[in-house]
Structure 1
Amino acid sequence: MNYAGWPRPLLVVDVEGNGANPPDLVEVALLPVEDGRVHPDRARQWLIHPPVPIPGHIIRIHGITNEMTFTSPRWPAVAEEVGAALEGAWIVAHNAGVEYGVLTRHLPDWQPAGVIDTLRLAKAALPGHKGFGLDALLTHTSIPLDGVAGTRHRATYDAHATGLLLLHLAQHYNTWQEIAAVAVPPGMPGRLQHEENTLW
């Protein structure tokens, strides 16, 4: 794989919410991918005080308690900083419609340069495999997670793991264009437009 053709900035994104409908953000993490490597040392992470409390069944999933977010800033105080960090970037996420939907709702003036969904990428790269959740794919691919700091379902951990999954699945393709052709969801930025042959 030639990483020279990959876009920059390329950010793996993960968000955690409070279970509201639509969800309010309680955590956002961004990890850059450059030159075929995930760079957790340059991760950005924000813990956010949501407008309504996090219910117990959601706390049991990601482990973020109301006490943990009590002294954190509310979204308006960090929105500009998060938006600036995302400016001009391609984003990567597992089941990316969630991250794309939440972030575009919270940042109405922002649009990513493109969106890569590692769920779609896995379905294209691993035909016949059953189970495309992040945990199932990490187990199936035997990606080493010893160097991933934190715990599952926290945003920085999940973004790091998703970045490693992206790099693993990318080995099935020769170019970024091939990855984008199968991994950008319909209707999202970065989707290649195929011209149809027309008889005149």
Structure 2
Amino acid sequence: MNFFTWPALLVVDVEGNGMNPPDLVEVAALPVRQGRPDTSTAGAWLTKPRRPVTPFAARIHGLTNERLAHEPGWEEIADQMHTLLNSAWVCAHNAHVDYRVLSAHLPRWQPAGVLDTLRLAKATYPDLSKYSLDALIEHIRPDLSGAPAHRHRAPFDAYATAQLLIAMTAHYDTWNQLVAAAVPPGLPGALEPEQDPMLW
């Protein structure tokens, strides 16, 4: 695939406080340029949630109430996040979750489209028994030596998702084919039937 034809794309990951709906505690946005994650322009933010982090969530990502006590509130970083994401494409693993949470926190934000590596993996590797991020890392074995932080932190998971996306693009010839396989119905960027390359 010719990566130079890609639109602006950011791989995103969010971590929450364990409530439903969640308050954000960390957001990462990693641009993919020319077929590579661009860590030089990546963004990652910690934010103090309005409601406390649950013990269960803290055990998963390691972000405790004490750790976040002096971080800025969401309202202090929201404009910065909106400017970064702007109207670019975004990609996430199980993208419904990240899109729903980000949309709730950024009501004026509307991405050009949403790629989901979970949906893409099911189309690309239909015989796998599991499609979690860990299962795909085990199956694809991407190079994560440059990943920041650790698993279940937003910068690491965004980096891992970017590497999985790049690896799976080898199975698709064009951007439209990738979009047809990776954009969930109902989310921005879904092709109209007359645009779907699978129907040509």
TM-score normalised by length of structure 1 = 0.95
| TM superposition outliers: structure 1 runs of 4+ over 6 Å | none
1:10-89 aligned at under 5 Å gives the runs 10-89=9-88
Shift, 1:24, TM fit: 0.5
Gaps of 5+ in 1: none
Aligned to 2:98: 99
Deviation string for 1:86-114 (max 9, x for gaps)?
Answer: 10110000000011000101111111000
2-side partners of 1:182 and 1:171: how far apart? 13
**Aligned positions of 1:1-200 closer than 5 A:** 1-8=1-8, 10-195=9-194
**1:46-103 deviation per Cα after TM superposition (whole angstroms, max 9, x unaligned):** 1000011101111000111111111011111111110111101100000000110001
Displacement of 1:144 in angstroms is: 2.1
Distance (whole Å) between structure 1 residues aligned to residue 110 and residue 32 of structure 2: 19
Distance 1:41 1:81 in 2: 17
Helix, strand or coil at the partner of 1:79: helix
State the distance in 2 between where 1:47 and 1:149 align: 14
- Hey, what's the Cα distance between the residues in 1 that align with 2:4 and 2:143? 25
Q: Is the 2:94–2:117 Cα contact (8 Å) retained in structure 1?
A: yes
The normalised TM-score by structure 2 is 0.95
Q: Which 5+ residue runs of structure 2 have no aligned equivalent?
A: 196-200
Q: Identity of paired residues, percent?
A: 53
| Whole-Å separation in 2 of the counterparts to 1:70 and 1:51 | 11
CA distance in 1, matches of 2:156, 2:139: 18
Determine helix, strand or coil for the equivalent of 2:171: coil
What secondary structure sits across from 2:156 in the alignment?
helix
Quote how far apart the aligned CAs of 1:145 are.
1.5
